[in-house]
Structure 1
Amino acid sequence: MTKMSRKHVTAMVALGAALSFGIGAAFAADDVTEDQILKALSPAKKPLTRGLSIGSQPAEPAANPAEAKFVSTIRGRTTRSLSKSEREEIAAIVQDKPKIDLEINFDYNSADISTKSLPSVQALGRALSNAELKGSTFVVAGHTDAAGGEEYNQNLSERRAESIKKYLVDKYGINGTDLVTVGYGKSKLKDPGQPMAEINRRVQVVNMENKTTTASK
């Protein structure tokens, strides 16, 4: 039997493991583009209703009031201020939201973004700066591998999420209030079969409000 290449195996693992935090697009750190991120995080556009002109389309359905209220309560909050129940509520809400699972890795036992992952973070910064996504609230969720205790990993995952937020705010001028950072420690491994693998030390980005925004005219 012909052996699969390491690249093919890695791609399969990355795609299948997106189930750990809801199904979403999954891309390796070295090949993701701004356009791919933009498409993954943009709400699906609904087709025109037959017989209606573009100018007479029905209005989009209103957002879930309870969900919208919850989102408003976590905007601008610090990562450490989120309770466990709030973190789990975020995880439940984002299940059906536009998301992308980027392999943004970090140095071992560190919140420093690895050199090989910088292109992904830069592509993310450019995508979030796009007018199509302006006004949405994004979850930036930090994760660790399974090494170490629960409290240590929770703290590390929060620092990693904050690290991404700081980079996006400092380098791309993203509004910090639009970025909700949350840490999940080792509770939601990307690859449970290899709990110590580097692939588990990553960040996932989700479009929390799941809405289409329009640029000012």
Structure 2
Amino acid sequence: RRFGCDTLILDDGFQYLPLKGRLNLLLVDKTNPFGNQHLLPRGILREPIKHLSRASYIFLTKSDGTQDDALLELIREHNPKAEIIECSHQPQYLQAIDGGARLPLDTLKGAHIAAFSGIASPESFENMLRGYGAEIRYNHRFLDHHRFSRGEIQHVYDQADEAELDMIVTTEKDAVRLFEDIKPKIPIYFLRLEIDILSGEEDFEGAAARICLPRNTSAQMTRPSFISENS
């Protein structure tokens, strides 16, 4: 209210039950939708699968475009009305952490690199790097949302330097948590990703319009081909 905002967008707000949101967006990793279907700590779920019923829109992320009838049937069993939108992560380029050089992805071919990340699915990030021909000689996985200490980052940099590697690569999400005054001796980049909507583009536009446009407007949104992912 202080800044005149009429909309709040929350990350991880779905499982905060006291929050009465106007719109619930649920992301489901298509490569591992519900794990063993058990809740933490026995499984990976924060809520029972039946709570799919609270979603307004369901995004199937990391999709390769193939139809998974069993997954769609399970979703529809618990939520017959939510719009389902399929999307994939598309690497774009390597961006220097300091905002300088932007390198094409083929720079990774044959490169000996160090990789580190603090995300939920580090395997996906690492497989992308290998898919473009990189050889990961040093790798460090931190927990999701890990808040790096200065010592941890310095250790990663030292290991990469001692191994005489070509570069260090991390995620854009992790890059913003680094320390400006701690610099490695070799180049460091983050892998820029964007989201490609594979199916349900009109439904995505509808969701974005409901979130971003004033409730009393009939303005039309410009149809995007890519949507940036920064989380």
When normalised by structure 1's length, the TM-score is 0.29
Bigger helix fraction:
1
Q: Say which one has the larger Rg.
A: 2
Bigger strand fraction:
2
When normalised by structure 2's length, the TM-score is 0.27
